[in-house]
Amino acid sequence: MSAAAIEVEGLGKSFGDVTALDGIDLTVPRGTVLGLLGHNGAGKSTLIGVLATLLRPTRGTARVAGHDVVADKSRVRRSIGVAGQSTTVDPAMSGRDNLLVIARLFGAGRRDARARADRLLDLFGLADAAGRPARTYSGGMRRRLDLAVTLVRRPEVVFLDEPGTGLDPVSRLDMWEMVRGLTGLGSTVVLTTQHLEEADRLADSITVLAGGRVIAAGSPEELKGRIGRRTATAWFATDEETVTAHRALDRAGGLRPVCDRPHRSVTTALTRDRDLADLVRALDSAAVEPARLTLAEPGLDQVYLALMSERRS
């Protein structure tokens, strides 16, 4: 058995003159979460479509759960679950029956099906509503049931499209926790998202697509370390000190400080190793002492913006 849940090499997909995927290479280790990021039209849905065997690639290869997406289509289909298609849920049936029917359909014995259904109902906070018809569920409950139905077959690889979208903040946090829980059950998860916080919180690795190509890949921490910038913010007691500090840092050369007078703070991106020392020295020689000095690690949103502005320039 291959160690990777997904292996993609030189994958291309064209629709007539439109090149949707242009030579994608990608490996997703088993039991991990991959976050696929990119603007509209970047190629995310097309990549998922090829991996889920709904689209045939124009060139290159892709293996999912060890099976080739073209030569072993039916094996791939048996190994995957695609959530976000609420069509899999029958609204007239109870939450529990929805799960039992699918588990039985995919070969689980009666007792095993019941055990799987109960575990998922518990995990997804649906145990109390398990006997009610799904049509009486709230939007958030339906999304959770939809995901449970996808999982009751025990797919090796799960594709999730924007799992947090349309959920209130509390349900979104619950959903994130559940997605993380899936890897504990042995599944590999691929999620597409436009929400950087979602990717940051959930993904072990992130692949950023643009124009059908991979423009950045790595763990959230790696991407932040490689592309993002730490910042230092000095906070002052008076407006006068704030202005003096801003001038001093501006004169220090290469620091590019940004002044926020209403909050009496000056922020500087730390792009070089010596920037922090330069900042402290500049403040010292101007005889202004900050009331507070805070350091902030880069966020994934900053990384994404930097990647996109690089592409524009």
Ligand X SMILES: Nc1ncnc2c1ncn2[C@@H]1O[C@H](COP(=O)(O)OP(=O)(O)OP(=O)(O)O)[C@@H](O)[C@H]1O
Which residues of this chain interact with ligand X, rule CB under 6 A?
Answer: 15, 18, 20, 38, 40-46
Shortest gap between Cβ of 196 and ligand X (angstroms)?
A: 14
- By beta-carbon proximity to ligand X, the closer residue of 153 and 195 is 195
Shortest gap between Cβ of 139 and ligand X (angstroms)?
A: 21
Shortest gap between Cβ of 84 and ligand X (angstroms)?
A: 12
Shortest gap between Cβ of 44 and ligand X (angstroms)?
A: 4
Contact predicate 21/212, CB 8 Å: yes
Residue-wise burial string across 140-163, b where 16 or more C-beta atoms lie within 10 A, e elsewhere: bbbbbbbbbbbbbbebbbbbbbeb
CB 254: neighbour CB atoms within 10 A?
10
Angle between helices 139-151 and 169-184 (to 10 degrees): 10
- By beta-carbon proximity to ligand X, the closer residue of 38 and 220 is 38
Find the angle CA(61)-CA(67)-CA(72) to the nearest 5 degrees: 90
Residue-wise burial string across 301-310, b where 16 or more C-beta atoms lie within 10 A, e elsewhere: ebbbebbeee
Shortest gap between Cβ of 58 and ligand X (angstroms)?
A: 12
Contact predicate 121/152, CB 8 Å: no
- By beta-carbon proximity to ligand X, the closer residue of 110 and 311 is 311
CB 56: neighbour CB atoms within 10 A?
11
- By beta-carbon proximity to ligand X, the closer residue of 45 and 61 is 45
- By beta-carbon proximity to ligand X, the closer residue of 161 and 250 is 161
